[in-house]
Structure 1
Amino acid sequence: MPESLDHGDVKAMSAHLQLSPGELLLVPGAVALVLARWLPLRLRGPLTVAAPTVVVVGAGAVLGVLGLRWQMVPVLAGAAVALPFAVAPLLRRRTGRVARRAPWWLALPGSVVCLALIAAGPAAAWALPTPVFPEPSGRFAIGTGVLELTDPERPETATAAPEDRRTVVAQFWYPARKDGKDSKDTGHARYLGRTEHEARVVSDALADYAGLPGILLDGLPRAHTHAAYDVPVADGGERFPVVLFSPGLGGVRTQNTAWAEELAGHGYVVVGIDHPYDSAAVVLADGRTIRTKVSATGDAAEDEKRAAGWTAVRAADLSFVRTQLARIHSSEIAGPLTGHLDTSRVVAAGHSLGGAAALQAARQDPRFAAVIDLDGAPHDPAPQPFPQPVLALTQAIGPDTDREYIPRLTRVLGLGTATSYRLTVPGAAHLTFTDAPLYLPPLPSLVGSLDRTAGPRITAAASLAFLDSTLRDTPGYPATALSAYGTLVVHHPGRSPKSGP
């Protein structure tokens, strides 16, 4: 390693290339093995000795410490094919035999194939990386915890057992105390679950729901977030507003972790909800895993009917968790958030179908103070006036966008008796408003044309501008802040929608 390349440089390079330090050793070592064939014999010796050493050290770090990622398999294959051709001439020379090289016209195709294999590794690691979550910018550290909540009054309609009651799993992200401890003291929470087993179960289920081989998302169970489990709430005795979040169809409670952590760092408690039989996989405390039962038929009328049913169940889940907040605040349900929840300032939020559920929950439950809809088309069969302000973030509208989406959303927002905002983010796709840009290939049709962190950052910044104005009476007109992120339409009660601040 050059002396001018310090630890910070290596860390930055590793993050940019989506490679670990061990993988950063492995890849150039493998390339050196391939190139050794093309060097004069006097130069090949030192390189051929050094390159296998680097490959062995890099491979040892990858295999023994980090675990082998599938992206590194072609790199190892390319190195393994090149190794004997690089070493054989040196061995002949040491035994006194004439060192010979394969003719260039035979060696060239082999070298090209080996280099292609090696290049495929970093390319795959860049396209499908282990997600690295943006550092929250708020003044608080981030705590997290998981609760399993059962509604004794509501039967589980997805099963035939009459004794089954509706159970949801809720994960809380909350403002925690910054006590100067190193992250190793408590350990940062895994991205998709409380344990490695749960994270792998959920990752495999998400891949299966998307119709992908599970190995393509194997970086998700490896990922850790900035939150730590069950750490003390921030000092000061403050009561924090709460944002309840419903994920997209087949989504899971952690799918907007970057957004949740940014909001928590700025003084909000965010509660992500797993909806059993809808979320891709829900792992319960007793070890059972509930897989999704939702599916589309391809018939527009039938699918809309099903979507309305799923939305109604989710809206009821949001209201149920809203009720449980009082029990958590009063210590009836024990946990670090006792005495720290402002149950008069609770927001219903969601992505996609979860956004539709948030709109319906607010219409049905006036206890909600506001709504955040992340690119969700309404599915309420009986929309009516509602008193809460709404922030609706939408993807860039193009020829492939559902033509009924914006008109339907506009009609619902027009029913509100408070000022609402619809912000269309340029370069955004449907998954831009989730964590997906952090780990899926950067294809515009999939995650939009913004960079990997821009989608989560804009989603959080717009949400904070709206929440601070709506719940905390922050000075300034929220439309001014929101219009910095895209095309804004303001819905004033009783007036036609107006573009701009």
Structure 2
Amino acid sequence: MWQGAPGTEDGPVTEIITDLYMSPLELLAVLAAAAMVMVRWLPPAARARVTIVAGAILVLSAIVLGMVGLRWQMVPVLTGSAFALPFALSPLLRRRSGRPARRARWWLALPGSLACLGLIATGPMAAWAFPIPAFPTPSGDFAVGTRVVQWTDPHRPETATADPQDRRTVVVQLWYPAQPSPAGVQRAQYLGRTAHEARIVSEALARYAGLPGVLVDGVPRAHTHAVFNAPVADKGGRFPLVLFSPGLGGVRTQNTAWAEDLASHGYVVAALDHPYDSAAVVLADGRTINTNIKSTGDDEDNKRAVETTRIRAADLSFGLTQLSRLDRGEIAGALAGRLDTSRVAVTGHSLGGAAALQAARQDRRFAAVIDLDGYPRDPGTGPFHQPVLALTQAITPETDSRYLPRLTEVLKHSTAESYRLTIPGAAHLTFMDAPLYLPPVPSMVGSLGRTESPRVVAAATLAFLDSTLRHKPGDLADALSTYGELSVYHPD
């Protein structure tokens, strides 16, 4: 979706463009192409004028779109107009040369016109199915800033390489409460620090999912609401922390809408890239590390998932150690003295949710846990002391029959009150940014819709964090139950 500048008033034209997920120039090209097809059916006095105007608009639009980057969704539009163009121009050229104009009989022209219009209509339909994602406006009072850091753990060897000197490195993106930025300031690129990094990550995600990269070529064109390296907010005191681990093959930015919303409410979100596990990790020196893990569903895959979860849990604990050092000023950074490391939640999606559960059991510095539809993988499940919120997709006959019993077993191990919230209409990908840019197929991204999906996930998460980290008064169970079917697990 293409958005106007912040603070501008939306009118009818803007609403049409938003609904079609097309830029004004793309929409203009579609209308000109349709007009070119319809010339045959206009009154004779209007045909020449419409042909000239529509043709000029179409050619200029195609040239400009080619210069700024033509999306594949516009190919059928230009193809349909190319078929119609000779038939629209021929009568005009023949008349100019003094020859009588020839027009096909209506019953011959009608099938061709309908075919061209159908081809042109494919463009808006494809743009709607695979749009440039438009991130929902964060609901909190703070503006949002973002930074990317890279940390190496000198005490842990990198087990994915044969080099005995290689040490485990993680790339972390921080979203934090920021001072308001001037109007018109450049917003952060989605998926990467630069457009080049965003394309690398987008192509890697498409390969991992088995999709042609061209289908999601609009994703790396998106910009979010955060501003890179914006000054930290001068109010709000010390901010609670939320560490996040993405799903298997996922990347640190996969939950950007969620992270921005939390940051706007006064949290600092630290999302990790896990090298050799995340689809693509671009390091500070420009090297790209692609994943060497592929989910297969067999027993060997389960063994790898257990080992990967163990490594990720260690990454999360290391990330918290580094953030504590950052807060104390041992690592240079604008957030020094602004992180409340006594109020920390560990979270994750899918395999990242499993890693969050394991990290919490092993590291009591984490005060709360959020598992976004993750199957627990910790082989050493035992008592842990943090309250847990597990958000799950709608349970269907196709859901792994082991999922709920295993998750229930883990939740009952907590010595604090824990919750499982099943969100009606949610699918596994509902809990990340995917509904913003994938086709709204319920089995894939759920049936909540592009706007409602991120809103519900963020709202339920905030209710839990405000209660457990900020000790906000109120009935947490009652607040959570407004978003779905709630099960409460009381400590024995």
Pairwise TM-score range, normalised by the shorter structure: over 0.9
Question: 3-state SS of the aligned residue for 2:224?
Answer: strand
Out of 324, 327, 337, the position equivalent to 1:326 is 324
Matches within 5 A, 1:19-34: 19-34=22-37
Deviation of 1:298 after TM superposition, in Å, equals 4.0
Aligned-partner Cα distance in 2 for 1:236–1:112: 60
Give the Cα–Cα distance (whole angstroms) in 2 for the partners of residues 397 and 365 of structure 1: 31
Q: Provide, for residues 247-273 of structure 1, a one-character-per-residue CA deviation record: whole Å limited to 9, x for no partner.
A: 000000000000000000000000110
Give the aligned partner of residue 439 of structure 1: 437
Of residues 471-480 and 124-133 in structure 1, the stretch that sits farther from structure 2 once superposed is 471-480
Q: Residue 407 and residue 9 in structure 1: after superposition, are their counterparts in 2 closer, same or farther (change >3 A)?
A: same
Deviation (angstroms), 1:417: 0.3
**What secondary structure does 1:313 align onto?**
helix
CA distance in 2, matches of 1:31, 1:196: 33
Matched to 1:74, the amino acid is P
Letter of the aligned partner of 1:249 in structure 2? L
The one-letter code matched in structure 1 to 2:12 is D
> Do the aligned residues in 2 keep the contact of 1:74 with 1:117 (CA within 8 Å)?
yes
CA distance in 2, matches of 1:297, 1:191: 29
SS at match of 1:37: helix
Q: Call closer, same or farther: CA 1:7–1:36 in 2, change over 3 Å.
A: farther
Alignment of 1:58 with 2:61, yes or no, is yes
Unmatched 5+ residue regions in structure 2? 1-8
SS in 2 for 1:175: strand
Report how far residue 296 of structure 1 moved: 3.2
Give 2:16's aligned amino acid: M
- Opposite residue 447 of structure 1, the aligned amino acid is V
Tell me what 1:92 maps to: 94
In 2, the alpha carbon distance for the partners of 1:74 and 1:140 equals 43
Give the Cα separation in 1 of the matches to 2:108 and 2:275: 59
From 112, 115, 121, give the equivalent of 1:113: 115
Q: What are the superposed Cα offsets for residues 111-141 of structure 1, whole Å, 9 maximum, x if unpaired?
A: 2221121111111100000100000011100
The aligned counterpart of 2:289 is 290
- Aligned to 2:455, what secondary structure does the other structure show? helix
Match in the other structure for 1:497: none
Alpha-carbon shift at residue 103 of structure 1 (Å): 2.7
Deviation at 1:43? 2.6
Please tell me the residue identity of whatever aligns with 1:224: H
Superposition TM-score, scaled by structure 2 size: 0.96
In 2, Cα distance between the equivalents of 1:141 and 1:481?
25
Inter-partner Cα distance in structure 2 for 1:478 and 1:161: 49
- Partner in structure 2 of residue 353 of structure 1: 351
> What percentage of residue pairs aligned between the two structures are identical?
67
**Aligned-pair CA distance for 1:22:** 0.2
Q: 1:146 aligns with which of 148, 168, 171?
A: 148
- The alignment partner of 2:382 has SS state of coil
Give 1:238-249 correspondences, 5 Å limit: 238-249=237-248
After TM superposition, the score normalised by the length of structure 1 is 0.95
Amino acid at match of 1:348: V
Aligned to 2:169: 167
Q: How many residues align?
A: 484
Q: Deviations over 1:99-119 (max 9, x none)?
A: 111233432232222112111
Q: What is the deviation of 1:439?
A: 0.1
- Between the aligned partners of 1:215 and 1:303, the Cα distance in structure 2 is 29
Distance 1:158 1:111 in 2: 58
In 1, the alpha carbon distance for the partners of 2:398 and 2:200 equals 33
CA-based RMSD of the aligned residues comes to 1.3
Report if aligned partners of 2:236, 2:266 keep a CA contact under 8 Å in 1: no
Q: Deviations over 1:130-173 (max 9, x none)?
A: 10000001110000000001000000000111000000000000
Cα offset for 1:344?
Answer: 0.5
In structure 2, C-alpha distance between the alignment counterparts of 1:56 and 1:7, rounded to whole Å: 28
Return the alpha-carbon distance in structure 2 between the equivalents of residues 197 and 388 of structure 1: 40
Give the structure 1 partner of residue 338 of structure 2.
Answer: 340
8 Å contact 1:22–1:59 — kept in the other structure?
no
Q: Give 3-state SS (helix, strand or coil) of 1:150's partner.
A: strand
1:459: how far off? 0.6
Q: What is aligned with 1:134? A: 136
| Alpha-carbon distance between aligned partners in 1 of 2:152 and 2:417, rounded to the nearest angstrom | 35
CA deviations on 1:445-472 (whole Å, 9 max, x unpaired) are 1000111121111110000000001111
CA distance in 2 between partners of 1:284 and 1:462 (Å): 33
Residue 96 of structure 1, CA deviation? 2.1
Matching residue of 2:124: 122
Q: Which amino acid aligns with 1:164?
A: D
Quick check: 2:152–2:168 contact (8 Å CA) kept in 1? Answer: yes
Question: What's the CA shift for 1:331?
Answer: 2.2
User: Secondary structure of 1:342's match?
Assistant: strand
* 3-state SS, counterpart of residue 224 of structure 1: coil
Q: Out of 11, 32, 40, which is 1:8 matched to? A: 11
Matched position secondary structure for 1:426? coil
Structure 2 residue aligned with 1:306: 304
C-alpha distance 237-109 of structure 1, shift in aligned 2 (>3 A)? closer
The DSSP-based 3-state class of the residue aligned with 2:85 is helix
Question: Which 4+ runs in 1 deviate beyond 3 A?
Answer: none
1:37 to 26, 40, 45: 40
SS at match of 1:26: helix
Post-superposition offset of 1:67: 1.7
Deviation digits for residues 275-312 of structure 1, max 9, x if unmatched?
0000000000111100001123442x322211111100
Determine helix, strand or coil for the equivalent of 2:219.
coil
Which of the residues 420, 423, 434 maps onto 2:421?
423
Aligned counterpart, 2:76: 74
Letter in 2 for 1:228: V
- 2:372 matched to which residue of 1? 374
Q: Of the candidates 44, 47, 72, which is equivalent to residue 50 of structure 2? A: 47
Shift of 1:237: 6.1
20-29 or 234-243, which deviates more:
234-243
User: Take 2:329 and 2:167, find their aligned partners in 1: how far apart are those partners?
Assistant: 23
